[in-house]
Amino acid sequence: MALSFARSAELQERAERFLPGGVDSPVRAFGAVGGHPPFVERAEGAYLVDADGNRFVDMFGSWGPMLLGHAFPPAVEAIRQAAGRSASFGASTADEANLAELVMECYPSIEKLRFVSSGTEACMSAIRLARGFTERPFVIKFEGCYHGHADALLVKAGSGVATFGIPGSAGVPAETVMHTLALPYNDLAVVEAAFASHPGQIACVILEPVVGNAGTIAPQPGYLAGLRAVTQRYGALLIFDEVMTGFRLAAGGAQELFARELGGLPDLTTLGKIVGGGLPVGVFGGRAEIMDYLAPLGPVYQAGTLSGNPLAMAAGIATLRAVLERRDSLYAGLDKTTAAIAEGVSKLAAEQGIAMTTNRVGSMFTWFFTPERVTDFGTAATSDTAAFARFHRAMLERGVWLPPSQYEAAFVGAAHGPAEVEMVLEAARGALKEAVR
Ligand SMILES: *Cc1c(COP(=O)(O)O)cnc(C)c1O
């Protein structure tokens, strides 16, 4: 039986009168998959409920933050209590150091950190700091990696940018990105070549250690260690953008998951999403010697009216405490549930003769509609995005809400269990038929 989206369609029409595209972030408009996006009324655990009363298994978790499920009771209570003490002071509170300490318990590479209000700010500030510290202008990033929408990083940026087929963005002058080198991911030789051709000029290499913003792409064996070695050799900083992977792949993110093969820690790390438990928080941190270059101690300026916001700190503390309380069982459980979903659907696709490549690392995964192995943005882009769009709509009609783009990772949270696995597999059984018709 087809779901009704009548109320959401009305709300979309109304929103479009006031907001460009009816949204505050482009991917929410469903441009890549078509059809009206459902308007959310509330969410609990693994489920979203829309304005028409439809219930969906949530497979994107607010794009990552909802590791422990929606309306996680300890976070809800902490936010309530903090709100009663006022939403913002613009002055220091004890909870900033309290949340920082919890973060550092998970990230040995972070000796000092600063809170900001988004992943975009975290990456933008980390780049400024790297340039200030090294006194060098160039930044290396990778095709399909997204580091937020700061001008200098909006080059071959995957995710929503890839979805819309724009190489970068209008409004970004060439001079702003002339010091950004965008290279293919998983290819060490091109990085070596860039360092060789820009002697003493490259401040840092920033990457998603596991890519989520081109769909899920894992680093090839030796790739992360190679980047650690080449940056060290040329005196450049290595920045792990763990806004998505932090607290998701492990409490200590990709740098914990790949610790043994990494051969050293990143110099700087950015975090976001889960660290704020659904409230706007970003983090950049790393070696104390570098972080002390920040104002008020050092010459690199960075500031924020709402940075370290008390509600956000409270939500983050409640979330990270819960993560640390059951660190091992949490990630083992996520791995198991995600494998059941990702590999279960992959098997169904194979049975139906559908070309699909499933990439999964921990609780993030992507079903690429392509027979190719997906190891970088170029191979991700061989996907049949029209088939993905049909699959997405067919899943939505069956009560499963996937991220609305082929170039976005799906997420599983602790609230997903055997019942949700069954629902996703059951929905996919029918939806795959519609995807390739
Ligand atoms: C989401 C994301 C960002 C940007 O974070 P915002 O909070 O949306 O500004 C940066 N880097 C990565 C890897 C992300 O996934």
Residue nearest to atom 11 of ligand 1 (CA): 147
> Average pLDDT of 390-394?
97
pLDDT at 166 exceeding the cut of 50? no
Residue nearest to atom 10 of ligand 1 (CA): 147
pLDDT at 162 exceeding the cut of 70? no
Looking at every residue in the chain, the average pLDDT score rounds to: 95
> Average pLDDT of 380-386?
97
pLDDT at 8: 97
Cβ(268)–Cβ(130) below 8 Å: yes
The CB of 208 under 6 Å from ligand 1? The reply is yes
Distance 158 CA to ligand 1 centre (A): 11
pLDDT at 161: 61
Distance 242 CA to ligand 1 centre (A): 9
pLDDT at 33 exceeding the cut of 70? yes
| SS3 labels along the chain | CCCCCHHHHHHHHHHHHHCHHHCCCHHHHCCCCCCCCCCEEEEEECEEEECCCCEEEECCHHHCCCCCCECCHHHHHHHHHHHHCCCCCCCCCHHHHHHHHHHHHHCCCCCEEEEECCHHHHHHHHHHHHHHHHCCCEEEEECCCCCCCCHHHCCCCCHHHHHCCCCCCCCCCHHHHCCEEEECCCCHHHHHHHHHHCCCCEEEEEECCCECECECECCCCCHHHHHHHHHHHCCCEEEEECCCCECCCECCHHHHHCHHHHCCCCCEEEECHHHHCCCCCEEEEECHHHHCCECCCCCECCCCCCCCCHHHHHHHHHHHHHHHHCHHHHHHHHHHHHHHHHHHHHHHHHHCCCCCEEEEECCEEEEECCCCCCCCHHHHCCCCHHHHHHHHHHHHHCCEECCCCCCCCEECCCCCCHHHHHHHHHHHHHHHHHHCC
> Average pLDDT of 111-130?
98
pLDDT at 185: 97
Catalytic residue of the set 58, 95, 241, 267: 241
pLDDT at 154: 85
pLDDT at 428: 98
> Average pLDDT of 222-246?
98
pLDDT at 173 exceeding the cut of 50? yes
Q: Which residue has the higher pLDDT, 88 or 36?
A: 88
| pTM as predicted | 0.97
pLDDT at 160 exceeding the cut of 80? no
Read off the pLDDT band of 318 (50, 70, 90): very high
CA–CA separation, 367 and 407 (whole Å): 10
CB-based contacts of 239: which residues, under 8 Å, 6+ apart? 123, 126, 127, 130, 204, 205, 206, 207, 266, 267, 268, 269, 270
pLDDT at 167 exceeding the cut of 60? no
The CB of 161 under 6 Å from ligand 1? The reply is no
Q: Which atom of ligand 1 is nearest to the CA of 119?
A: 5
pLDDT at 1: 58
Percent of residues, the chain, with pLDDT higher than 90: 92
The CB of 38 under 6 Å from ligand 1? The reply is no
Residue 146 is among the residues annotated as catalytic for this protein: yes
Residue 185 is among the residues annotated as catalytic for this protein: no
The CB of 123 under 6 Å from ligand 1? The reply is yes
Catalytic residue of the set 146, 223, 234, 331: 146
Mutate to test the pocket of ligand 1, among 185, 243, 283 (most ligand atoms within 8 A of CB): 243
pLDDT at 257: 97
> Average pLDDT of 328-336?
97
Residue 241 is among the residues annotated as catalytic for this protein: yes
pLDDT at 165 exceeding the cut of 50? no
pLDDT at 412 exceeding the cut of 70? yes
pLDDT at 365: 98
Catalytic residue of the set 156, 273, 376, 407: 273
The CB of 245 under 6 Å from ligand 1? The reply is no
